[in-house]
Structure 1
């Protein structure tokens, strides 16, 4: 009779805490929240308040198709979660690992509380750095969540963000070149000024 109770307690002890937090883009008025290869998130402050102090909080970046069947048990640094294979052979990767100590609650006044995803260029092709926070290769869309691991055990997770779409770089041919074209009004004004200058020059010569 004790076995079912023990199994229930064991399952409860290892239950994943699903937090009611949804990652969002930062609310900075400075702009640049999304570029062609990066985006900026708000840090999850005052979110992982019940996890062990030594738990590691990871950011998961995924293509939308990978969200429904995402497996929390596949750990960071494995081939299935390596940035270098994303998004082709790896539909999701894990990066920006830290502990709750770096997400203090409440937020100290004046402290920057954002995360720029995609800011590391040096490790983008380095397969020895599978958790690289490398630049994203396309506009997406992407979805993200935060996942806390105690050792290799998932202990808490946030919800998934809404789809995040990056900016698309303009091809050089679409960028207008200053001075390459003149409006009819500008041409007419230039002609009139040339005529007036010629008349003025002729008058000066006649006075000599």
Structure 2
């Protein structure tokens, strides 16, 4: 009977131990608590302190798309089958942020703020196991923690509620007819700018006409005659008689 119970526990298809805990967004007022590619979770402190979880067990964060990805998630039985961020478009889920029980102790966290920022690593490759790659879109997403031993997964938490990331919003004109005040605010600067440009153009034309009308400018085909002058100290009667 004991042998049968042991074989049942080691069977790959057995159901995982359920930890009654659901991950949740950080309650602290943080800059960047939700961005276009990341979100911040509370650390699951003290949730893995029971005897069935050892310090050598890996604790992964499973991230799945809420539109079907979390329902299709199957805990990998081998390390080689661990889904990576590059699998997310097809599978709808992957695992990241590997930790162990010692990193999530119980008790008060003290003065340090202990959070998990999902999608915060821009340097790792999406093909790398455990890469905390920026999230590819606004979601919605769900997460849970998965405890894995060498022989396979052995425990998991509940799925979190949906998390939606921020989205960039394009500036758009207000729909419907514009009020008279809005039209006046837009029209007055345009009229003043037109008057200023007209005054500058008029001044430029007047200046050009005044300058060009009082100065004779020779064209390239005109001959220019210049009178020859001899200075007094260079004049010599004997030289003049020689010509």
TM-score grouping bracket, smaller chain normalisation:
0.7 to 0.9
Q: CA RMSD in A?
A: 2.8
Q: For 1:187 and 1:139, how far apart are their aligned partners in 2?
A: 36
| Total equivalences in the alignment | 177
TM-score, reference length from structure 1? 0.73
Q: Which has the higher contact order (CA 8 A, sep 6+)?
A: 1
Q: For 2:76 and 2:136, how far apart are their aligned partners in 1?
A: 26
The match for 1:136 is 135
The match for 1:8 is 5
**Are the aligned partners of 1:75 and 1:81 in contact in 2 as well (CA < 8 Å)?**
no
Stretches of structure 2 that go unaligned for 5 or more consecutive residues are 175-180, 190-243
In the TM superposition, residue 63 of structure 1 has moved relative to its aligned partner by 1.3
Cα distance per residue 1:46-91 (max 9 Å; x no partner):
100121111111000011212223211345563x6111232x1231
The match for 1:91 is 92
Structure 1 residue aligned with 2:71, among 45, 56, 68?
68
**Are the aligned partners of 1:23 and 1:161 in contact in 2 as well (CA < 8 Å)?**
yes
In the TM superposition, residue 5 of structure 1 has moved relative to its aligned partner by 4.1
Q: For 1:40 and 1:60, how far apart are their aligned partners in 2?
A: 14
The 1:12–1:75 alpha-carbon spacing in structure 2 relative to 1, beyond 3 Å, is: closer
The match for 2:114 is 113
The 1:110–1:70 alpha-carbon spacing in structure 2 relative to 1, beyond 3 Å, is: same
Deviant stretches of 4+, over 6 Å: 184-190
The 1:139–1:33 alpha-carbon spacing in structure 2 relative to 1, beyond 3 Å, is: same
**Are the aligned partners of 2:85 and 2:94 in contact in 1 as well (CA < 8 Å)?**
yes
Q: For 2:168 and 2:18, how far apart are their aligned partners in 1?
A: 37
